[in-house]
Amino acid sequence: MGRTVRSDIPLRADPYRPALPALLAAALAAAVWLAGLHGGDLAAQVYRTDLVRRHGLVLWDPGWYGGQYPLSYSVLTPLLGAAIGLGVLAAASAAVATLAFDRLTVALLGRRTAGSWYFAASTLLAVAIGQVAYLAGEAVALAALLALLRRFRALAVALAAGVTLLSPLAAAFLVLVCGVWAVHDRSRRAGAVATGAGAAVVVGLLGLAFPGDGPFPFSVGSLLAALALSALLACLPRAPAAVRTGAWVYAAACLASWAVPNPIGGNAPRLAESAGVPLAVALLSASRLRGKVALVAAAVVAALAVWQWGPGLAALRAASPSEAPSTTASFYQPLVRQLEARSRGPVRVEVVPTAQHWESAYVPDLARGWERQLDVRDNPIFYRPGALTAASYRRWLVANGVRWVALSDAPADSSGRAEAALLRSGAVAGLRLAWSDRSWRLWRVEGGPGLLSGPGRLTALGPDRVTVQVSRPGRLVLRVRYNRYWRARSGVGCVAPGAGGWTVVEARRAGTFALRASLLGGGPSATC
């Protein structure tokens, strides 16, 4: 790997106890959590964790985007969050990730550097932003690399599979690192290949089982930062050959992810943010640079650190007077009570996304939600310049079966600002103001078909299940996303994919038509 990497360094070989950086990471995570500095990503984690608490693991959930696969995001994180709490999971993940990073860099450089302490401090960013699933996946990925370093091949492969079940994004990064490691370390090549393959196979299986994520936006600024880090890692004199190669491979992967829209997209720089900058700090502190070269390298690292810590400001803004109310359940309760009082049966609600997205956790049955890839894929009207007009918005509401539209006085997400302005203008036809208070306005969508068109009535809609009361034979359009796992619970009819990705019910007779999403069967196929 360019220099000897020691795998026999005991946990107390360096002058400081190895647990100290890990303890610092856990303490900072706990402090951030208890201080309530929770960024917008946490809302999605809370929603998925509450879903598991109420229903267990589900294949299909209609709460966002007309229906989506929760397991495509993370299998284990909601389970662990429900069992021990997201705060405990975040603190434990920060500690494990720091300990593993510290042991890896000590083996690489022969001693502990400032990089270990910097890594410990920077874990609070993922906690503050709410990236609990990624932080947990990162911790297990680093533990897998440490197991590989110490030649515990079977453990490394098992941990690699666990990474994928926690965070497919972290698993993708693990595959990249294992590929580079296999090229540069003959003695561990078989283990590196097996570890990377273990992660890749599980990622592939999850992608086949639960397809459908759309592209994630990737800004030029983030791309340039990732490329600058790659160049720095490739040029630092203490960087091993594997790190240099990995830096260029990562740069190429970021360029490809930016050029070709894909579900990773703007998440590609996450590796640079979480581990790349701390690794640069470690290598720089271990280098014997002098003069202008040292100043230039330090300036680049400082600039990257500013970029890395920038997203953490979102958590601070969430605690500001303008945004703090919209992060609490009580802010949404008046709206939820109105929706419950005014709705008969299942309905779909469009809440203009707030900057911190807590409507995703506290308001049920949303037309949108909080997964950017799905929003870009299913609702491009909010992302294409000039696409959102009064007429196109009305068509979107009708096509998505939206019955209610709600707008709060909280700052809106970037994808909701034009929508909020359009609603305030009063230019959208067919919206009748039904209720308002100091914080909310609620409109009823007049003339739209709602969630069901055809001779029937939607009586139940929940995770993995749909029930329709059919009044006579005919064709019904159910505005929930079709999925391959539907199983019929009665002989009333069958289902098929329809236009727009919705579900079409072909009713053969009157009666109750029930569908259940099942991976293992449990009923006859509902496909027509």
pLDDT tens, residue by residue, 375-402:
999 999 999 999 999 999 999 999 999 9
- Indicate the fold that domain 324-445 takes in CATH: Rossmann fold (3.40.50)
pLDDT of residue 524 exceeding 80: no
- Pick the closest to residue 57 from 42, 70, 41, 73 (CA basis): 70
On the question of pLDDT at 128 being above 70, the answer is yes
For residue range 198-212, what is the model confidence (pLDDT) as tens digits? 999 999 999 989 987
User: Which residue type, as a one-letter code, is found at position 330?
Assistant: S
User: What's the rounded Cα separation, in Å, for the pair 182 and 340?
Assistant: 57
Question: Would the pTM count as exceeding 0.85?
Answer: yes
Residue 142 · residue 152 · CB < 8 Å: no
DSSP 3-state assignment of 408? strand
Please state, as a whole number, how many other Cβ atoms lie within 10 Å of the Cβ of residue 10. 7
- What is the residue extent of each domain of the chain? 19-316, 324-445, 452-517
Above pLDDT 70, what percent of the chain?
A: 93
What value does the mean pLDDT take over residues 5-12?
Answer: 50
Which residues neighbour 224 within 8 Å (Cβ) at sequence distance 6 or greater?
A: none
pLDDT at 302: 92
pLDDT tens by residue, 466-489? 999 999 999 999 999 999 898 887
Range list of β-strands (E), 353-450: 402-408, 431-436, 440-445
**3-state secondary structure at position 489:** coil
Whether 103 and 22 have beta carbons less than 8 Å apart is answered as no
- Specify the pLDDT at position 72: 92
Mean residue pLDDT of the chain comes to 91
Q: List, as one string, the DSSP characters of 276-296.
A: IHHHHHHHHHHS---HHHHHH
Closest CA to 206 of 72, 56, 68, 374: 72
Residue 324: per-residue pLDDT: 77
- Which secondary structure element, helix H or strand E, spans residue 493, and what is its range? strand 493-497
pLDDT 10s digits, 158-200: 999 999 999 999 999 999 999 999 999 999 999 999 999 999 9
